[in-house]
Amino acid sequence: MDSVEFLTDFITLNTLINCFCNVKRASDGLLVFGRGFRPNAVTFSSMIKGLCVDDKIGEAVGLFKKMGLFGCWPDVVTYEILINGLC
């Protein structure tokens, strides 16, 4: 995106993270995650879902625990995704 000077905003980056996670490329989603915007519950939920799909449950739980460090708190969807991943 930087190479073509694509203007990114919060919604675009959340959508990109969600897309990467839906195609089992959570590691690429993590790269987008660190692009300097403040993540919210949607961002974390997408990343946690992607990590669970990639069988990286430990990383998903770790990310869940770090949500508070970003001033963000899990919502019902976040809990549902983590519970499904743990099951």
pLDDT tens for each residue of the chain, 87 residues long: 454 455 567 777 888 888 888 888 888 877 777 666 778 888 899 889 999 988 999 999 999 999 989 888 999 999 999 999 998
Domain extent for 14:
10-86
Q: Is residue 1 part of a domain?
A: no
Q: Tell me, what DSSP letter sits at residue 75?
A: -
Q: Is residue 18 part of a domain?
A: yes
CATH number at residue 45: 1.25.40.10
Q: Is residue 49 part of a domain?
A: yes
Q: Is residue 62 part of a domain?
A: yes
Q: Is residue 4 part of a domain?
A: no
Instruction: Give the angle subtended at the CA of 42 by the CAs of 39 and 27, to the nearest 5°.
Output: 70
Residue with tokens 């675009």: 12
Q: State how many domains the chain has.
A: 1
Q: Is residue 64 part of a domain?
A: yes
pTM of this structure: 0.81
